[in-house]
Amino acid sequence: MKNSKYFIIAAFVVLFLSSCKKDNYDAPAADFTGRIVYRGEAIPVEFDQVPFELWQSGFGNNSAIRVSVAQDGSFSAKLFDGNYRLVFSENQGPFLWRKNSAGRQDSIALNISGSKVMDIEVTPYYMIRTPVFAVAAGKVNASCKLEKIITDAANGKSIEKVTLYTNKTQFVDGNNNNGIQELSGTAIADLNNLSMSVNIPTMVPAQNYVFARIAVKIAGVDDLLFTQVTKLSF
């Protein structure tokens, strides 16, 4: 009886030891971080709306790793070391991406060995310049200028609307907002002089700050171009 008891204990020990063996891959360890930029300036976009794809060949069936760009234009991904190709799908984001000679989206070769910081250069249709936000008399007043970056007839696009959004949390976009003012593209006379204002609604529970951003909807492009989120106290 005693023998069998020892035997059982021994069996358990062996079992536990053997299951301590590594039986799987290491978790991905390399951090790939950076921002999408135009001449060094980050391009803010909507939360979880502008993804790029990372493709790695050599492992059976292909499928992309989708990396989403954050509100402030930054991104981060945990990756295995290896060689990847980085590409934005067509018409993703409020910017143009390089095309290859066949007219398809070109991809960037990306070698990951250890963590890597890289800014991705893109060409936005417009840039929002000198945004100014201020609170006065229960209103958020905002002004900005727009610079048209892509001006050639083939790729340039007109503005559908410019919108000022406010929200009580730092996520501010078309779906997450508590105040909107829109300027339609046809009503804009001067791209260097845009101003909007939104009444600050009553917030429950009460808080003495709001977040605001300006968004530009470019005709024929899904994703909006934003300014950085600004916290306004009052």
Binding region for other proteins (CB under 8 A):
61-64, 89-92, 103, 174-175, 177, 180, 220-222
The continuous run of DSSP H or E covering 139 comes out as: strand 139-148
Which lies closer to other proteins via its Cβ, residue 33 or residue 105?
Answer: 105
The Cα 63–Cα 53 span in angstroms is 9
What residues contact residue 39 under an 8 Å CB cut-off, 6+ apart?
121
Least distance from other proteins to the Cβ atom of residue 31, Å: 26
Which lies closer to other proteins via its Cβ, residue 81 or residue 222?
Answer: 222
The Cα 166–Cα 172 span in angstroms is 6
For residues 217 and 45, the answer to whether their CB atoms sit within 8 Å is no
Measured between alpha carbons, how far is residue 140 from residues 62, 175, 186, 213 in Å?
48, 19, 23, 10
Which lies closer to other proteins via its Cβ, residue 102 or residue 189?
Answer: 102
Which lies closer to other proteins via its Cβ, residue 64 or residue 134?
Answer: 64
Least distance from other proteins to the Cβ atom of residue 207, Å: 20
For residues 110 and 55, the answer to whether their CB atoms sit within 8 Å is no
Which lies closer to other proteins via its Cβ, residue 47 or residue 126?
Answer: 47
Least distance from other proteins to the Cβ atom of residue 115, Å: 28
Least distance from other proteins to the Cβ atom of residue 150, Å: 14
**55: phi then psi, degrees, rounded to nearest 5:** -115, 135
Least distance from other proteins to the Cβ atom of residue 180, Å: 8
